[in-house]
Amino acid sequence: MIDSFKNYLEKRLQLIKLELIGVFANMASGLVSSFIILIFLLFILMMLSFSLALYFSKLVDSFSLGFLIVATIYLGIFFLYLLIGKSKIDKNIKDAIVESALNQEEKQVNE
């Protein structure tokens, strides 16, 4: 009887380890995928920023002033984020992570 119980505990621990590995693997793949998307979006934003800076440079007839205008726009967006959006975005990210982990656990339980 004790051997059966030990065997059961060992199998249960193996199952828990495999479930945790599955959860971490899914989270890691999601992070890598999100990172790749972020890199592409940053390249797109960079090209659009250069285009906008060159456009403003032609309007004001000064390259440095055109780039300064774009930098000022980004600085304004950054301050708005700090003042208004940081707490909301942090909360949404935490909620998304917890929801993703719970959904993954629920999928494994249903399988």
Distances from the Cα of 88 to the Cα of 77, 96, 98, angstroms:
15, 12, 16
**Residue 66 CB neighbour total at 10 angstroms:** 19
Exposure string of 50-61, with b = 16+ CB inside 10 Å and e = fewer, is eeebeebbeeee
Distances from the Cα of 8 to the Cα of 12, 15, 17, 42, 108, angstroms:
6, 10, 14, 51, 20
Predicted confidence (pLDDT) at residue 105 exceeds the cutoff of 70:
no
Q: pTM for the complete prediction?
A: 0.63
In sequence order, the 6+-apart residues with CB closer than 8 A to the CB of 65 are: 56, 57
Instruction: Identify how many contiguous H helices and E strands the chain contains and give both numbers.
Output: 3, 0
Residues 70/52, Cβ–Cβ less than 8 Å: yes
What integer pLDDT is reported at residue 76 of this predicted model?
A: 95
Mean pLDDT, rounded, of the chain: 86
Percent share of the chain, pLDDT over 90: 41
How do the domains of the chain map onto residue ranges?
2-110
For residue 100, the 8-state DSSP code is H
